[in-house]
Amino acid sequence: MEKSLSLLKQIQEQFEVKAQDVRTYSPLVLAYIGDAVYEQIIRTILVSEGNQTVNGLHKKACNFVKAEAQAKMIQNLMEELSEEEQAVYRRGKNAKPHTTSKNGTVADYHKATGFEALVGYLYLEDKMDRVLYLVKAGMETLKQ
């Protein structure tokens, strides 16, 4: 059986997008794509729980996508990150975003930006297995 291409590879092929050296991307660009990837994971998990109202799905998703939750997740995952992953996270955390969280602290927002930058970096490196592992492990820490 033929292994299917990753979503990233399919996008690159279908739209003739050239792979870039993601190490040259700004941390906020990495966080931009990482936010979308992370939200898709969360939404997929929630939708798989069965038919629900969109409002109910949104409320459940907020428990995972808000800055406070992402900050807690990444804090609990730091020991599991490689040096390279920690460096990407720090670059994202130390970036100067032009917006802030509506309901969270500035510190949580910066940590969440670092988390999203890491997710974006791993996605663009086509390391979705690692993204999924970190998200799952992070979600487990929220249950504690």
pLDDT for 41-96, tens place per residue? 999 999 999 999 999 999 999 999 999 999 999 999 999 999 999 999 999 999 98
pLDDT exceeding 70 applies to what percent of the chain?
Answer: 97
Given this model, what pLDDT does residue 104 score? 81
Q: Confidence class of residue 97 from pLDDT cuts 50, 70 and 90?
A: confident
Closest CA to 23 of 133, 120, 127, 128: 120
Q: 25-143 belongs to which homologous superfamily?
A: Ribonuclease III domain (1.10.1520.10)
- In the chain, count of helices (H) and strands (E)? 7, 0
Mean pLDDT of 131-140: 97
**More reliable by pLDDT, 100 or 105:** 105
**Residues recognised as catalytic:** 35
- Determine the pLDDT at residue 115: 98
pLDDT for the residue numbered 25: 97
pLDDT bucket at 2, cuts 50 / 70 / 90:
low
Place of tokens 């997740």: 73
- The domain limits of the chain are 25-143
Which of 83, 70, 92, 71 is CA-nearest to residue 26? 92
Which pLDDT score is estimated for 86? 98
The rounded mean pLDDT for the chain is 93
Q: Name the DSSP letter for residue 118.
A: H
Does the structure show a pLDDT above 80 at 109? Answer: yes
Q: What is the dihedral of CA 74, 43, 64, 90, to 10 degrees?
A: 30
pLDDT of residue 1: 66
